[in-house]
A = this chain, B = another copy of it.
Amino acid sequence: MNDTISLLMNHRSVRKYTDQSVSQEQLEAIVAAGQMASSSSNVQAYSVVAVTDPDLKNKLSECAGNQAYIQECPVFLVWCADLSRLKKAADTHQPGVPSYEGAVENFVVATVDVALASQNAAVAAESLGLGIVYIGGIRNQIETVSELLGLPEYVYPVFGMCVGYPDPNHGAGLRPRLPQEAVLHMNGYHAEQNERGVQAYDETAVRYITARTNGQRTSSWSEQMAAKLTNPSRLQLRSFLESKGLNKE
């Protein structure tokens, strides 16, 4: 254990912020830390749009299902997978040669690249006393989000991230995770570890959600996951990505 691991182990999603702003210097330090994350063959296939304009934040909040914290946080980061710089390079230096920005491989590369960068940025922000929450909800209306931000071809917004100072009057809970047995497998995948781990976790999750919601929600993790996986949400993502020239071959 050390200070950095202690910081990582104390992560919680912050959904209530004070009015204190995030300085441009802080923003640049956070993104610089993000940029130092590993990148597949140094492609750096991501961009981040920092939204501070209140009107734009309100519109993005509407797209993400009216999550108030998107309006209230001082900076809302939209992390984008971005193959546009690579496409430009290919068109310039290999004109007429087929390029593979539409391949699933490069879709994975760009999606992983942006996630590694964003997680470094999240850790940097938390080390500065800021709080964050990831917002997958921007994919609810991904086409509108994309238009609002003026995203070009070969770019897609993967997730948002609220950044700001946590409101000390709204302590966020430390959510228990799956037992490590379910997640860490030695020298091969052992499905039976999942079964035992999930069984134990279901009991933990019921206790956690019951306490957190004062008994209003009591479902186990497996029940929550079953509800989630049978929900036909964001099925338009495939065609949106194809319209941007991504994940199509």
CB within 8 Å of B: which residues of A? 1-5, 7-11, 13, 27-29, 31-33, 35-38, 40-44, 46-53, 56, 80, 83-90, 92-94, 97-101, 103-106, 108-109, 111-112, 115-116, 118-120, 122-124, 127-128, 132-134, 136, 139, 148-152, 155, 158-159, 175, 177-178, 180, 182-191, 194, 198, 221-235, 237-238, 241, 247, 249
Q: Is the CB of A31 within 8 A of B180?
A: yes
Chain B, residue nearest A155 (CB): B189
Known: A35-B178, A183-B47, A226-B92. A241 touches B104 (CB 8 A): yes
Chain B, residue nearest A98 (CB): B230
Q: Is the CB of B123 within 8 A of A4?
A: yes
Q: Is the CB of A184 within 8 A of B127?
A: no
Q: Is the CB of A106 within 8 A of B249?
A: no
Q: Is the CB of A13 within 8 A of B38?
A: yes
Beyond the given A3-B3, A94-B229, A105-B139, please list 10 additional residue pairs across the A-B interface where CB-CB is below 8 A.
A35-B178, A35-B183, A38-B133, A47-B194, A93-B223, A103-B232, A103-B237, A103-B238, A116-B118, A148-B188
A139 to B80, CA, bound (A): 23
Q: Is the CB of B50 within 8 A of A33?
A: no
Known: A158-B112, A178-B44. A100 touches B232 (CB 8 A): yes
Q: Of B112, B124, B182, B229, which contacts A111 at CB under 8 A?
A: B112
Q: Is the CB of A104 within 8 A of B247?
A: yes
Known: A35-B180, A115-B119, A186-B52. A105 touches B8 (CB 8 A): no
